Amino acid sequence: MSKKEETPNDKVEPESVKKAMKEAKHTPQEFAERYSALCKEFGLQVVAIPQWKQSLDTGDFRLVIQMSIAQTPKENQNG
């Protein structure tokens, strides 16, 4: 059985990231633009709410991020 060579996550070469971005079907900028348009269309957005949760095993507290849907704020409340 041959063992695959493992690359640590913190040793990613910048050139490989640039190459992957060029070959990607969609760009982060495209995602941001389409998400913004979707938020405007529906009047809703995804929000992250940090909360403290007590561990059932150890009793200590952990910071967790709860995702939720909320109405988008009005751009011009007086208009």
Predicted confidence pLDDT, tens digits, the chain (79 residues) = 445 555 556 677 888 888 887 787 888 899 999 999 999 999 999 999 999 999 999 999 999 999 999 999 887 444 4
Smallest CA-to-CA distance from 40 within 71, 79, 67 is with 71
Instruction: Answer whether residue 8 is part of any domain.
Output: no
Instruction: Answer whether residue 44 is part of any domain.
Output: yes
Instruction: Answer whether residue 10 is part of any domain.
Output: no
d(CA 11, CA 17) in angstroms, rounded, equals: 11
Q: How far is CA 23 from CA 3, 5, 16, 19, 35, in A?
A: 28, 24, 11, 6, 21
Instruction: Answer whether residue 48 is part of any domain.
Output: yes
Please give the residue range of the domain that contains residue 33: 15-71
pTM confidence score: 0.54
Instruction: Answer whether residue 2 is part of any domain.
Output: no
Q: Could you give the number of structural domains in the chain?
A: 1
Instruction: Answer whether residue 39 is part of any domain.
Output: yes
Instruction: Answer whether residue 6 is part of any domain.
Output: no
